[in-house]
Every structure is written in C-alpha cells, then in structure tokens.
Chain A
C-alpha cells in the first residue's frame, strides 16, 4: 500500500483574512433595537473595547481551511493507531448520531431536575453499569478526564486520612516506576510526597520494595493493572494487603481496563478507589486530545468522599445530592462531560455483558499475536518466555525508537507510543485493540519489522524519515528552544 498524506500549504486563518468578510449573520430583531436604543453606551467608558482583530473569512474559506487541515491529520478512522495505553479503538458511529439529538444537546445544566429525568436516568444506569464492571458500588461521573479522576481519587484518600486523624503522619503515595506520568503528578497536586517503587526484572511491582517502604507515613498506593508493560500484576493482592496493613488505601488507575472487563473486578481484589477512562475503554472518540471522561468509583465506606453532587435514585426520581459533608468538594462545573458519558453508555449497551468481555479478550489476543510477529533481530523483548501480555506489550528497538516511529509514518500507520515506560530503553509500547482485523495486524507486523530493520541498517536514512507525510521531520528542538519558540502568529 502506498501512502501519501495530503500536503497543503494551508495559510493560517489570519493570513486568509480579508477585510469586511463575515461567515455568519446573527439573529437580529429591529424591534429590540427600538426598545433599548444604543445599548453599547451602557458599557462603562473606560472598559469599552476599541478594536478587535479576528480573521475575516467567508464560509467557503473556512470549510476549505478545515477540510484541508483534516486531510493532514491521521485518525483511527484512517488506519491502525496502536498507541500504547491510549486504546485507540473503533468509535461506533451511532454514538455521534445520538449525541446530535436536540433533546440532549440543548439541555442547560441548571434546569430543574424534573426537566432532566431522562438524562439523569441514563447517567445513573451508566454509573451502575460501570460500577458493576469495576466492582466498586459508589460512583461519581464528574471528573473530566482520567487525570482528573486520579486527582479526585487521591483527594479522597486525603480526606479519609483527615477523618482518621492521620493526615499529618501519612503523607506518602507509593507509585511504581512504570506508572503513567499523571499518577505522580496527581498525587503531588493533592499534596502528597511520591515514593517511586521499582519494578522487578520481569516487569512486576517489586513486592519487597513495597514492603520496605510501606509503613507509618504511607497514605496509599496507585497501581495500573495490567501495568504499562502490559503485564497483569500477579502479586497485586499481596501488594494491596501490604498497603492496607500499613493503614493506607489503594487506588486503581483504569487506563488499561480494556484488558480486563469481565475478567477481573478491581473492587473484588481489594482496591478502594478507581477511575475509568471512558474515552479509551468505552469507545468514545479522543477528538485530537479530548474531551474525555474519568468517572471515579469507591467502596461503600469511601462513597461519602466522592465529589459533590452525587446522583441518587429513590426508586421513583433521580436527584443530585449536594448535602455531603465528607466530600472532597467539586472538581469541575456541573456534572461531568455528559456527551462523553452518554457515548460510553451507548457503547456499553451495544456490546453488553458478553461483548465487553469478548472485546477485552480480543484486545489481548491482538496484542499477543502482534508480539509473536516481532522480528527478534531488530527488537529486544524483555518478557520471560511464555509470558502472556495483556492488551499491550513493550519491546525495545535495537535502532532509535524515534526513527522507527518516523519510518512507520510513511506506511500509513500510526507508530506505537515511544520512550515509555521510562524504565525501558528505546521502548515501543503497542496496543492494537480489538478493532484491528487479522489482515491489519499482519500488515502492521510487517511494516513494524521493516521499519526496525531499515533503522538498524541505515540509521542515516532513517533519521531523514518521514517523507510521505504532510511535513517532513519536525524540528522539535527549535520548536521549544527559548530563543526560537514561537507561540504567536
């Protein structure tokens, strides 16, 4: 397959501007003007705006601009996008159609609850469905993204410790060295000291290291299962026990839940608080970086600490409960990224009990299959023989991972995540998801091996890749250098 990405010399909006053009007429009513007169006179003189500089462009100019830009953007609807830990799976199109329903999109969040029972019912049912999957009964759909879910969860640990009178003593959160960067960032945002836990040579959490540091000052631990190496933490229960014995709580980062639906419920095995990334596991689109949704789940005992308000159902009516003295408070406005939540509910209904479980199994199958196809001459694989990875795997390229990634771009596929986890040199982290067909996986394996070979055999040529994309290799150093950085047009 030959791949050529569009290469438009598309000007910036401001460069398209021509004085006097306007792409939209606003609704107007001359009777209003007659009633209120020259209304701008009521703006205090010293606050008035003198001039505005926005691009002046017509509708055809705008749509061409964005259509051209869109042609210079890779997406999962174009091809394989196996970014590790990002779960770029197919987004069912029916989600988008339902989201455009005017009975949903015009609801103001401050409407009386009597007017919003329909959407509340959907949210409540979604919460119940997700809580069943996670195995923790209490939920909040408020957090806008996974990282905000983490922040919320760690704040809950903090609030719980305060109620225990332990906050001054317990100020450390344990985090494995393979964790996503959001984990330490969230813990530190919530005022905790981060203690990094090393991994064993096999890639699991080092239980002895946990035992060595868990103690008086341990507030809790954040764990991603399967971890970012794609391994199920076989000692998870023991680790949880160590933290609980030390008087801490254990947080489940659900970024990798796509491996486990119906196979393991984090609540069953002792996790106290968890979040899910609905834009990953539940098939809602990523929109070039967002919006997402990061609902949080907790045990019965910790439910009171969830953000305010919480959605309740009395068998008759759905209502938001604001009277929650233990709550960590609000983490964002209103009730959450409802569009994403509704999308996730649709996804859950479509797949259902069996479908969700099968999706996790097929995602795991795809990852193991792809792993088995790697050419060992060009990749180092760190797993002991016969290891079964879960939904993603990590390997090291013998050449520069960056060059392998850029070479892959020329084949019309998206590279894996590179240089992560940080514990692995020249890491590639591959998560094909259940969406890829056998043919796509075979082709991906072929081009991945080819790219790795090319990078090893001719590093100089590789350093000049890519060639078939909208731009050749971007000068990232220049982009961020204090003397050459440019953030204004």
Chain B
C-alpha cells in the first residue's frame, strides 16, 4: 500500500503535520499485551471489588438490583445489533429501527404518552432536556421542582438550565409526610413558569398522592407538568398521562440493564400535546413508513430536522450518540414479562420492600418505614445509630444498603434510604435485618 502511494514509511503519511507540533517522545503508556494477559490483569483488579449478588444489594435511589433475564443478555449480545452504528441507512438497518420503534411504543403504552424518543443518556439528562423543551414550548424561563426528587436529577437539571438563564426554583416537600407539597408549589407557580417537575414515586420511594393536583396547578398557569419515574412502578401506578403529566422521564435501567457501577443507563423520554410538542422533542425518533414502491412496511428515523446534524445551533438538543442498545434490552425485558408479568413485577417489588421495611421497623431504635405509602425505595430513621456507620459496615455482613440521606437532606441526617426488589426473598431480607441489628447493638 505504501508503495502504491509512493511512500517509504508510515511516518511519511504525517509529513503534513508541522514538526514542531509533534511530540518528541513516545507516549508514556504500557506496551501492548496479549488478550490472556489483559483478561488476567482486569480480573485481578475486579477482585478488589465487593460486588454483591443482586439479592445482597439493598441500594436504590436511581438504579436498582433487578433480575436481568438471560434472554435480554442474549439479544443485546447479537453482534448485528452490538456492532452496528446509528441507522443512517434505513434499508440495511431495519432490524435496529424496528426494535427501537417497538421500544418507543412500549414506553408510550406504559406512560400513556403520544410519542417517545429512542433514548436519552439517563434519567438525569432526560430531566434537563425535558425542562429545556418546556422552555422552548412555553417561551417562559422558570422551572419549579420539588426537593424530594433525586438529588443528582436536580443537580443535572441545574447544569442543563442555568447557563442559558433558566431559573430553577426548588420548593420544599412536606417534611412530615415526605411527599410533594401542593402549597409550596402553589406559592411559586405563576404565569412565568415553563414547567414543574416532581417524581412519582419520589426519591424517598413514596407514591405522590397529590400528583394530579400539582399537574392541574401547572396547567392552570399554562405550565407543563414533567413527571420523573422508575418505570417498574408502572405495573401498579396508573400512567402519568392519566393524572396530567405532559412529559414523562425516567430511568430505564430497572428494565433489564445490569448495574455496571452506574452506566450505561437509559433515559426514558416521552411526551404528548400534538405535533407542535413532538417537534420540540430531543433525540432520535423512529417512525413507521412504507417503501417508495409502496410494497412494504418499514422504519426510519423521522423528524431529523430537529436534530443537530441538520439544524446545528438551532437544534432541539446536541444529542447524537444515545443508548440505543439499552433500548433494545428494555424492549426485550418488557416483552418477556408481558402485561401480567409486568404487573406481577410491581407486586413482587412491593412485597419485598414492604417486608424489609416492616422487619427493619421491628428493630430497636429504628423507625421504618419513615414515610408511606411507598413502592421500592424507603426511608429508615435511626434514633441513635449513625446511618453513615451502618452504611460503611454492612459489607462486612455480605450486604450493601442504608444509603445515608444527610448529605443531600440535612433534616434527614439520622436516616438512610433502603431498597428491595423482586430478587430479594425472605431469607435475603432477614440477612439484611440481622446485619443491621448487629450493627445497632
């Protein structure tokens, strides 16, 4: 090849780079290694982790230990999906396009929304994008969000909004009940507010009984109601559309993704309000169409004029790479469960979480659950013990849990967040409670 190009060495390919820009040394990184050595090296490093099995993990708050069906791993491992790019050429990418179209529709069916995109990076960036979308639609520049939302969600919301002068107002929750406070929303929601944001279930895991009232309040002032959620709750909670949500965001990790130390994740993003709203959506959207010869149903990316590669600085978002493969995992997961399985998932989660909350509440010096009614995550209050110590020491008993809340919620410095899912059987939960009991004594 070099000869054909009239070159002597590979270095000749870089003659166009001025000499003074080239480094005068080799990179200070290790020599290449064989596959076997690399595998060994990584395994050695991974051995330093304490990676409990999902049923020994009682941490939640944004990602959760759930069972990932073998079928899901199998489907996303298929090299035809795994090693493909964004489906720019629809005719050779029908597989991915149909799979993503199905994902979008499953999300719409769960949330009651009209349209879903084919994924955002995660829940937090989905919140940021949703609020910016509301700003574009309403041409207003204030967001009102409840303080009992996930702290990272609120942090990212700020990162996404404040640089362009969108004011983010965080209103307090009901400190007694842990739920959103209609009154504190009412004080801040006016005709300048683009959107309100709350989560159902909230970061504390509780069902938001005032969800409908707060959405109505937003609508009364011409604002958009954005609801964040853990989709596994949708087997037992009605679709957010039914209580007034206009945009739904959430974390799809609970639907078939491994924890992977927190990533990749998948941000759910769905909305309603007609085409005017649809055209303000961020991210890739797949639609159904037909071939030009009219012979066949097929799928392709639609409304690309919203996107950065066409609209550039006027785009609705800069997102390009998303979490497509994770969307295929989510769709496979939902298809595996089906209607009855998905409802059963919600029930099983609640069985485990409620037994765990009850059992912990039986321990001396523990108030559990501190807030109710709840779904998967729940707050536990320690009357004497330091939750930080319990959190640090639980791994000694082979479990993890008790995420201290004080850092983000000073008023809950004596409390911790626990979580339990369908993977936790009675014996697992008993083991957790024994461990906490030993730590307390």
1/0 contact string of B16-35 vs chain A (CB within 8 Å): 11101111001111111101
Residues 421 to 443 of chain A near chain B (Cβ within 8 Å): 438
> Which of chain A's residues has its CB closest to B281's CB?
A487
The answer to whether B51 touches A54 (Cβ under 8 A) is no
12 A-B Cβ contacts within 8 A?
A55-B334, A77-B79, A96-B82, A109-B63, A109-B261, A111-B395, A286-B321, A329-B158, A333-B124, A336-B262, A365-B13, A369-B1
1/0 contact string of B233-246 vs chain A (CB within 8 Å): 01111110001000
B236 / chain A contacts, CB cutoff of 8 Å? 40, 43, 48-49
Taking A333-B123, A488-B115 as given, write out 20 further A-B residue pairs in contact, using a Cβ cutoff of 8 Å, ordered by the A residue number: A22-B340, A23-B335, A23-B341, A40-B236, A49-B235, A52-B235, A73-B92, A74-B89, A108-B63, A111-B400, A133-B27, A287-B76, A291-B321, A337-B265, A357-B27, A388-B16, A415-B89, A474-B90, A484-B289, A487-B287
The answer to whether A285 touches B293 (Cβ under 8 A) is no
The answer to whether A121 touches B159 (Cβ under 8 A) is no
The answer to whether A42 touches B354 (Cβ under 8 A) is yes
Q: A91-B83, A103-B47, A290-B321 are in contact. Are A349 and B423 (CB under 8 A)?
A: no
B51 / chain A contacts, CB cutoff of 8 Å? 102-107, 115
**Which of A27-35, A242-250, A296-304, A392-400 has 4 or more CB atoms under 8 Å from chain B?**
A27-35
Residues 99 to 131 of chain B near chain A (Cβ within 8 Å): 99-102, 104-106, 108-110, 114-115, 118-119, 121-125
B167 contacts A by Cβ under 8 Å: no
A46 / chain B contacts, CB cutoff of 8 Å? 209, 212
B363 contacts A by Cβ under 8 Å: no
A478 contacts B by Cβ under 8 Å: yes
Residues 281 to 298 of chain B near chain A (Cβ within 8 Å): 284-293, 295-296, 298
Distance to closest chain B CB from A268 (angstroms): 6
The answer to whether A475 touches B98 (Cβ under 8 A) is no
B142 contacts A by Cβ under 8 Å: no
A414 / chain B contacts, CB cutoff of 8 Å? 85, 89, 92
A104 / chain B contacts, CB cutoff of 8 Å? 46, 49, 51, 260-261
Complexed CA–CA distance, A65 and B103 (Å): 14
Complexed CA–CA distance, A72 and B90 (Å): 10
A24 contacts B by Cβ under 8 Å: yes
A287 / chain B contacts, CB cutoff of 8 Å? 76, 81-82, 84, 323-326
Rank and list the top 6 A-B pairs by shortest CB-CB distance, nearest first.
A352-B32, A287-B325, A109-B262, A334-B262, A73-B95, A118-B48
B355 / chain A contacts, CB cutoff of 8 Å? 32, 35-36
Q: A52-B110, A53-B109 are in contact. Are A118 and B49 (CB under 8 A)?
A: yes
A100 contacts B by Cβ under 8 Å: yes
Q: How many residues of A contact B (CB 8 A)?
A: 202
Q: A56-B340, A470-B94 are in contact. Are A47 and B260 (CB under 8 A)?
A: no
Residues 313 to 368 of chain A near chain B (Cβ within 8 Å): 328-340, 342, 345-346, 348-358, 361-362, 364-366, 368
1/0 contact string of B412-437 vs chain A (CB within 8 Å): 00000000001101100000000000
A98 / chain B contacts, CB cutoff of 8 Å? 39, 42-43
Distance to closest chain A CB from B64 (angstroms): 8
Q: Pick the contact of B238: A49, A107, A261 (CB < 8 A).
A: A49
A387 contacts B by Cβ under 8 Å: yes
The answer to whether A47 touches B237 (Cβ under 8 A) is yes
The answer to whether B102 touches A13 (Cβ under 8 A) is yes
The answer to whether A76 touches B83 (Cβ under 8 A) is yes
Q: A263-B14, A372-B5, A485-B302 are in contact. Are A101 and B46 (CB under 8 A)?
A: yes
The answer to whether B288 touches A24 (Cβ under 8 A) is no
Q: A42-B373, A115-B50, A350-B38 are in contact. Are A288 and B238 (CB under 8 A)?
A: no
Q: How many residues of B contact A (CB 8 A)?
A: 201
A21 / chain B contacts, CB cutoff of 8 Å? 338
Q: A42-B372, A118-B45 are in contact. Are A288 and B328 (CB under 8 A)?
A: yes
**Which of A81-89, A206-214, A450-458 has 4 or more CB atoms under 8 Å from chain B?**
A81-89
The answer to whether A42 touches B345 (Cβ under 8 A) is no
A201 contacts B by Cβ under 8 Å: no
Q: Pick the contact of A106: B5, B54, B164 (CB < 8 A).
A: B54
The answer to whether A111 touches B50 (Cβ under 8 A) is yes
> Which of chain B's residues has its CB closest to A122's CB?
B45
The answer to whether B321 touches A146 (Cβ under 8 A) is yes
The answer to whether A288 touches B31 (Cβ under 8 A) is no
Complexed CA–CA distance, A118 and B63 (Å): 20
The answer to whether A182 touches B209 (Cβ under 8 A) is no
Complexed CA–CA distance, A88 and B315 (Å): 25
Best-surrounded residue of B1, B42, B150, B323 (most CB of chain A within 10 A): B42
Distance to closest chain B CB from A191 (angstroms): 4
Residues 250 to 303 of chain B near chain A (Cβ within 8 Å): 251, 258-265, 275, 278, 284-293, 295-296, 298, 300, 302-303
Complexed CA–CA distance, A352 and B423 (Å): 41
A122 / chain B contacts, CB cutoff of 8 Å? 42, 45-46
